[in-house]
Structures are given as structure tokens and as C-alpha cells.
Amino acid sequence: MTCIYLIRHGQASFGKDDYDCLSSLGEQQATHLGADLKRRGVRFDKVFRGSMLRHQQTAKGCLHAMGADESIIENTIVDANWNEYDHQDILAQLNPGFATPAGVKQHLMQHKNPNMALQNVIEEAFSRWMSNDFAQQYTESWMAYQNRIELAIQNVIDHNEDAKHIAVFSSGGPIAVLSQTLLNIPASNLMKVNWTLVNAGVTKIIHSKKGLVLSSLNDHSAFEGNHRHLITYK
């Protein structure tokens, strides 16, 4: 039996020109999670991560705080199948004005409640993407994205080499897709799952001869109590 820890990246630089970079708070989240895992006696036998910078930074901060063996860190398997969807492309296909963070920001400034306006835009854009009615317009269709995540988890299974505890540093989308699949939640509710995922939260999957089972979803107990200020969602 293998326990797979799906770890969402720390807070990224949302709204900035380069989203794919941890904020200072995101770096704190990664380090604090690692320290909490160390306190709980968790040790990883194998590590996977996506190829995005925020995945690399989160893995580095977390693993070093855990005191992980250098051999584990050096042999981390980088698999781009764990990368997030292209949210900017998904937004741009809804409205070309959303092709850049600046364009989205300009739109939100016109609303009294920017956060609600952002949520509405994202829900509309992702509903359009997931309908598959306009699949050819996107750099990656919803179906292609789902298939990619299936390949990602299968790659972990195929290369676990009898590891008992595996870490995967990824993003909210892949974690939400796997959780939605294992719980048989309709794809239309995917974003409801995605909205709740905390930065540096941990979702645990058990792999055995019987297949994959979701053991826990979005565990962020490391950030409770005096560390609640570390809880973010973007």
C-alpha cells in the first residue's frame, strides 16, 4: 500500500505579470508545512512535482524544512503532466480582453465587488471550457486536460518502486480533478472543489491492489490556530 500526498503549491503572485512565482507568504506556507510534516514524523520515499516554478519553489521550501535526505530532493521526478491548466487562455477565450492580468484587473475595477466579479468571470470561463463545445479554440481542451492528469497519477503508480510515502507537488486543478474523479463528483462541480483548496494544503490518496482511494481532502490543519494568517486560496 502506498500513500500519495498531493500538495498544492504555496500562494502564487496572483494578479502580477508573472503569476508563476511564490509570494513571500507562499514561501512561508511551504516552509511551515514542511516543519509541520517533520513534527508529525512524515518522511517521503519519493517525490514528484510539476515543472512550474511555483511547484519547484514549494517542493524546495517544504522538503528542506522537513529535513529530507538530499538524495530524495536530488532525485525528484519532474513531470509536466502535473502542471496547472492555462487559466489565462481559458479566460481569453471567453473575452479577448482577459488575455492578460492587466486586462482582467481593468475589468474588475469597474465593479463594486471585484472579488464577486472575478468569481463570476472564472465560473463562466471554466463552464465554457468544460462544455467541450469550443474545444478546438483552446491550447488544451478540457478532455485533453483530464487525460493528462490521468497520465500523471499513472506515472506515479508506475514508478513508485515500492515507495510507501510519495509526495507530489502540484496545483489545485490536478488535485481537484483527481478528487472529483475518485468521489464520482460531476465535472460541473469541479470548480466548487477547486475554490476550497488551500495553498499548501494536502490531499492524501491511498494506492493498493484495489486501486486508488481518496483518504483525505484539502488537509490544512498545519495552518490552524496561531497560524490561520497563512491560509490563502490563490
Distance CA 34, CA 222 (A): 9
Asked if 51 contacts 83 with a C-beta cutoff of 8 angstroms, the reply is yes
pLDDT tens for each residue of 138-191: 999 999 999 999 999 999 999 988 899 999 999 999 999 999 999 999 888 888
> Which residue, 30, 191, 199, is CA-closest to 126?
191
Q: Is the dihedral of CA 126, 132, 133, 137 positive or negative?
A: positive
Sequence-separated (6 or more) residues with CB below 8 Å from residue 193: 176, 179, 180, 185
Distance CA 125, CA 97 (A): 13
CA angle 142, 194, 184 (to 5 degrees): 70
Q: Which residues pair with 206 in a beta bridge?
A: 3, 213
Sequence-separated (6 or more) residues with CB below 8 Å from residue 162: none
> How much is the pLDDT for 5?
99
pLDDT tens for each residue of 41-59: 999 999 999 999 999 999 9
Ordered by where they begin, the domains of the chain are 2-84+146-230 (3.40.50.1240), 86-139 (no CATH)
